[in-house]
Structure formats: structure tokens, C-alpha cells
Amino acid sequence: MTYCVAMRLEAGLLFASDSRTNAGVDHIATYRKMHVFELPGERLIVLLSAGNLATTQSVISLLRQRLAHEVANLHNVANLYEAAVLVGNTVKEVVARDSSSATLGQGVDFGGNFIVGGQIRGESTRLFHVYPQGNFIEAGEDTPYFQIGESKYGKPIIDRVIARDTSLHDAAKCTLISFDSTIRSNLSVGLPIDMLLYPADSFAPAEPHRIDADDPYFNKLRRGWGEGLRRVFAKLPDAEWF
Amino acid sequence: MTYCVAMRLEAGLLFASDSRTNAGVDHIATYRKMHVFELPGERLIVLLSAGNLATTQSVISLLRQRLAHEVANLHNVANLYEAAVLVGNTVKEVVARDSSSATLGQGVDFGGNFIVGGQIRGESTRLFHVYPQGNFIEAGEDTPYFQIGESKYGKPIIDRVIARDTSLHDAAKCTLISFDSTIRSNLSVGLPIDMLLYPADSFAPAEPHRIDADDPYFNKLRRGWGEGLRRVFAKLPDAEWF
């Protein structure tokens, strides 16, 4: 599996992805699931991917190799909506190609989910979730985040903490705690984590940060959170009815 | 959906279940998913159920009406293992009966999951998870708990807190927090919660406690936990790399 989170806050955008892929427990590997397309000063488009690795890799490869010569590509689409359309069409193209074997393809899930977000000059930041069918939804005022992959373990802490006006620093903290909870409870999600924080309207070069098992900040955070939880837990009252 | 948890600790057993059932968002109802079979002083057997409501209700009905006249029933089986076998056989019987319509049954999931736990004099406490196929696994030294239904949202807090030597009071606290997290993140799990705490070797009459939206203890707990989490969160350091 996979775990990816993206948030669209007033302060900017956050993207985070784990990097474990598995096709059975004896076929585990590490792949980057965060893909950056940028023209610093003009546009940043970030893709996070989950699902069939053959599909998601092909989609990224096609999107990259078409930057040079396709009429519409991620370096020239006029807005983020058109970027989501392009990603959706590419997903449909790859799934149609790979699932065309009538005999061998049965029972294989060729689907992939993508989160597409960023900013193109002339627009504010935008964030989309592109489904395996190629259609997509956009994050709005009341839904500041999307998750794909193993999303349930890490959802409660996000639901408790994140609002539109959360700072990028707090969003990063919350996201790393969400990843920590997921990694502890599910073997198919694993380090390293790639994280990208983009302040709105900065058009600054994207600098994804990679967090692995000996990252001092991540370890300080997981220790502080675990100890803090146990302290809070210990202070909660016992039931009177038992 | 449903969310049920059971724990087998040195101090005794804990059972908890929500009570929301749904067949589509416009067909939501409240049903008890905790079912107690007991002969105080001699045996306690508790069943928690998740899955197809027609199946799980039929299984419970058959197990109850057979108490009077079947050769093997939950009031006379010699041990908890035989109780799990009996529940498994009854699940298979009901699923076979209900899925026998070749035309109408297609695409319907007739399956149900059961947690079966308790104590019969002569044995220590035992806890089983009975699958829709009728086979089952038992909780051991290293796996003190089972969950069925919407288990992922509430798993991280259990993984952080529960060990074999956790007290029943702490187990109850942790379980209610786990339910709170699940209920906040998933509409298909809802109050009231039924909770039963059984001190090992007590053979005391089972007294399930029902917790609804205005339960003062549950509300104190969710408020204390939510505020505590935000306090711990606020004290965690910011990332140095951003």
C-alpha cells in the first residue's frame, strides 16, 4: 500500500508521501511517490500517487516525456484544472492499454489514485484528487485535505487538528504524527517520508525534504507525541461505573 | 458498518461494540451487537458481531433458541474452543441458507465476523475471532486484542497503550478513546456504545454498560483527551528544515 496526504491551507500547500510499495509481503521495495513539475517563478505542480505501481509509474513517465513535445503538457497548461484533466486522461490511457489483455488481466487492479496540487501564476493554490477512472474532485473551503492509500489510521489526528488557518509548521507536525500512527499500525506503509511545504504565492523552487528512520526531528516528534499521549492518558479519570 | 473491540488481559476481558447499522446512508438504524450467554458462577460467553445484519441476527437467534434442546449449545459446551466451533458452524449454516438463491444473491456479501470470548469454569479466559468462513483464531500472549468492522481509525491508540498487563480501567479508557476517534472520522460508526468488563475468574453476572451521547464519563473523557492532545501538540517543536 501507500500513504499520501496533501493539504491546501491559507498559508500554502503541504504534500507528503511514504515510499513503500509491495506486491505481496515478499516483494517490498522503496519508490518515490512524490513527483514535482515546476517552472520556478511561474508554476509548481506536485503529484502524489497510490495504487498499481506499473500504472502510476507509466503515468508519470508519459507526463514527463510529453513535456518536450505535446501540445498540452504540465509545463504549459493554463491552470491547475487543466493539469488535473491531463493527469486524468493519462491515467485512463495507461489503464486502457494495460488492461487490454483479456486473459491475463483478470483479477488485477490496474487503478491508480493521484493527488494533483500546486499553483500557476494568475491563480491561487489549488488541490485535486484524481480517481482511477480519470475524473477528479477539488479541495474546497471546508475540505482542506486529501489522503490516498492507507488513509484511515492517520485520519483522526488530522480531523482533530487541521483547519484552513493552520500554519504550515503545524500542518507538517500533524502530518508526521499521522504518518507515525499509520506506520506503527500498518506494515505496508514505511519510511522514508517525502515532504514538501509550499508557501502560497511564493513560486519558490520546490524543495522536498526526505525523512528517514534516523531523522532527528521526526524522532523527537514521535517520542514527544508518544510520551505526551501517555501523560494525557494517565491523567484521564477512571470510569465510575466499574 | 460497525466497530467492535475485545481484549484479553491478565486482569480480565473487555468487550465493546457500537450500535449503528446501515444499508446505505438512508437506511441507518440502531442494533445491539453485544450478545451475552451466561450461567453466573459457571460460565460467561460474549459475542460481538459485524457484517451482514441478516446473517449475524440469524446466528444469534439460532444460538439462543438452541439453548433449550440442541445436544451442543453455548450453555453446555465444555470449553470456549467448542463455543467458537459452534459459532463458526452456525455462521456457515446461515450463510449457506441465505446465499442459496442463485439469481438474487449475486453481489450481496452475506458474511459476518464474530468475536467470541469469555470464561468457562476449569479454563482461564479465552478470546476468539470467528471469520465469515466459520474458521477462527485465538488471542495469544502477544496479541491481546481483536477488532472487527471499521477497525483502522481506532487502532493506533490501542497499539500505543494496550499490553497484557494493562488494567481493566485503563483498557476501558483506551477503548472509549478508540471509539471516539472512530466516530469522529467515520459516519457509519455511532453511539451508543455497549461495554462489558469481566474480571478474570470472577464468574460474576455480566453487566454491560451502555454509553450514549449524554454519558457524563464518556464526555469527560473525550473532552479531556481532545484538550490534552492539543496541549501536547502545541508543545511539540517545529521542523528546523522549513
- Strand order across the B34-39 sheet: B34-39, B43-51, B112-120, B126-130, B136-138
| Closest residue in B to A160 (Cα–Cα) | B226
Where b means 16+ CB within 10 Å and e means fewer, A155-186 reads: bbbbebbbeeebebebbbbbbbbbbbbbbbbb
Residues in A touching B156 (Cβ below 8 Å): 153-154, 156, 181-182, 184-185
Q: Which uninterrupted H or E stretch holds A157?
A: helix A155-161
pLDDT for B188: 86
For residue A178, tell me if it sits in a domain. Answer: yes
Q: Which three cell numbers stand for residue B162?
A: 494496550
- Say how many Å lie between the first and final Cα of chain A, rounded: 41
Residue B4 CA to residue B15 CA, distance in Å, equals: 8
For residue B223, tell me if it sits in a domain. Answer: no
pLDDT for B118: 98
Residue B74 CA to residue B175 CA, distance in Å, equals: 27
Residues in A touching B197 (Cβ below 8 Å): 242
Is the pLDDT at B103 greater than 70? The verdict is no
Q: Which residue has the cell 451475552?
A: B36
For residue A122, tell me if it sits in a domain. Answer: yes
Beta strands B112-120; A43-51: pairing state = unpaired
CATH number at residue B54: 3.60.20.10
For residue B222, tell me if it sits in a domain. Answer: no
Q: Which three cell numbers stand for residue A190?
A: 514505511
Beta strands B34-39; B28-30: pairing state = unpaired
Residue A143 CA to residue A150 CA, distance in Å, equals: 19
Residue A57 CA to residue A203 CA, distance in Å, equals: 26
CB A92 within 8 A of CB A134: yes
Q: Which residue has the cell 463455543?
A: B83
Q: For B7, list phi and psi in degrees, rounded to 5.
A: -130, 140
3 state DSSP class of B36: strand
Q: Distance (Å) from the C-alpha of residue B149 to the closest C-alpha of chain A? A: 13
For residue B221, tell me if it sits in a domain. Answer: no
CB contact under 8 A, B160 and A229: yes
For residue A241, tell me if it sits in a domain. Answer: no
Which whole number is the average pLDDT over B123-129? 98
Residue pLDDT tens, chain A, 242 long = 799 999 999 999 999 999 988 877 788 888 999 999 999 999 999 999 999 999 999 999 999 999 998 789 999 999 999 999 999 999 999 999 998 876 666 778 899 999 999 999 999 999 999 999 999 999 998 889 999 999 999 999 999 999 999 999 999 999 999 999 999 888 888 899 999 999 999 999 988 999 999 999 999 999 999 999 999 999 999 998 88
For residue A31, tell me if it sits in a domain. Answer: yes
pLDDT for B100: 83
For residue A239, tell me if it sits in a domain. Answer: no
Residue B34 CA to residue B208 CA, distance in Å, equals: 9
List the domain range (segments joined by +) for residue A211. Answer: 3-234
CB contact under 8 A, B153 and A157: no
pLDDT for A102: 63
Q: How many domains does chain B have?
A: 1
